[in-house]
Amino acid sequence: MLNRYRKELLLLAVLVVVCIFLTIRNPQFLSPTNLQNITRQIGMYGILSIGVAVVVVTGGIDLSVGSMCALLGVLMAMGLVEKKMPPAVVIPGILAIGGALGWLHGILVSRLKLQPFIVTLCGLLLYRGAARFVASDESKGFGDSVGFEPLKQLATGSVAGMSTAFVLFLIVTVLVGVLLHKSVLGRHLYAVGKNSEAARYAGVNVLRVETIAYVIAGVCTGVAAILFAFYTNSIAPSSHGSYYELYGVAAVVLGGFSLRGGEGTVIGVVLGVILLQVLQNLVNLLGVPSSLNFAVMGFVILIGALLEKAFQKKAA
């Protein structure tokens, strides 16, 4: 059992050490305001990362989620504010568009055998362009317009002392956790990731399983896009969501997933996401120049990969 969750335990240990260090250096870390803030970030990035994780399990990757956040955010703001469409139409619509784009990625990868990196890189470029075009390269948002308070609560509010985004993240985590670790589809996802040919010889519908993974990533991106849009309140189509795909991939890799597929647990991604956000927080709280933000992230992921290799050798 210990061996099975070796990666996750290692990650948890690192997380605890970082948190203790951070608390000692700046007790502000544990202040309610900071915790509210950090859990909100964890919630939003977490939902995004979990979608990416499902794709990575199959041996794929999704680089399009950042641009998709921008496109979906712009569309949502325009639908709600400019077209005055009812939220009950727009919100499901945004999720449906996310799922449909994911389905398209899935079809291109599974049926047309294009490489996931290429397909979703094209998505990254296409959706960014589309977002800027439909918004005429202007920021779209809610400004002071009234009537969206309940929706805004999703991103900025809190439930029972926890930020709503974090609660949503927990729900998504449980759902995807059940999917990956308890369901038939989950077993097929891992089988396809480990060895898609052998899975095919065992009667797994490889094409369908792969496609579903991208659809899940698309829907998760849709949920995250809604939260990010209300959180920032104003969506600049040229920069909103930039690098989010890298946050997603970073969290997944840090969480013990192999980019070759077939490995990783939901607990792993959750820990990965939390660690990344705590590191962001560390940069702020310790007065590290914020220009070093990404460098700290890169450094920690590298250390994590090295530690993992070292432990792997020891175990073997």
Binding site for other proteins (CB under 8 A): 178, 182-188, 190-191, 194-195, 197-205, 262
Instruction: Closer to other proteins by CB, 125 or 171: give it.
Output: 171
Could you give phi then psi for residue 64, rounded to 5 degrees? -95, -5
Least spacing, CB of residue 40 vs other proteins, in Å:
32
Q: Which residues pair with 163 in a beta bridge?
A: 158
Least spacing, CB of residue 187 vs other proteins, in Å:
6
Instruction: Closer to other proteins by CB, 212 or 273: give it.
Output: 212
Least spacing, CB of residue 205 vs other proteins, in Å:
6
Least spacing, CB of residue 12 vs other proteins, in Å:
22
Under 8 Å between Cβ of 220 and 51: yes
Least spacing, CB of residue 201 vs other proteins, in Å:
5
Instruction: Closer to other proteins by CB, 42 or 204: give it.
Output: 204
Instruction: Closer to other proteins by CB, 205 or 284: give it.
Output: 205
Q: Which two tokens stand for residue 290?
A: 């914020």
Question: Identity (one letter) of the amino acid at 17?
Answer: V
Least spacing, CB of residue 1 vs other proteins, in Å:
10
Instruction: Closer to other proteins by CB, 43 or 99: give it.
Output: 99
Q: Which two tokens stand for residue 231?
A: 């959180």
Q: Which two tokens stand for residue 139?
A: 């920021």
Three-state DSSP class for residue 262? coil
Q: Which residues pair with 233 in a beta bridge?
A: none
Instruction: Closer to other proteins by CB, 83 or 309: give it.
Output: 309
Three-state DSSP class for residue 140? strand
Could you give phi then psi for residue 237, rounded to 5 degrees? -60, -20
Q: Which two tokens stand for residue 161?
A: 């002392």
Under 8 Å between Cβ of 67 and 123: yes
| Separation between Cα atoms, residue 167 and residue 176, nearest integer Å | 14
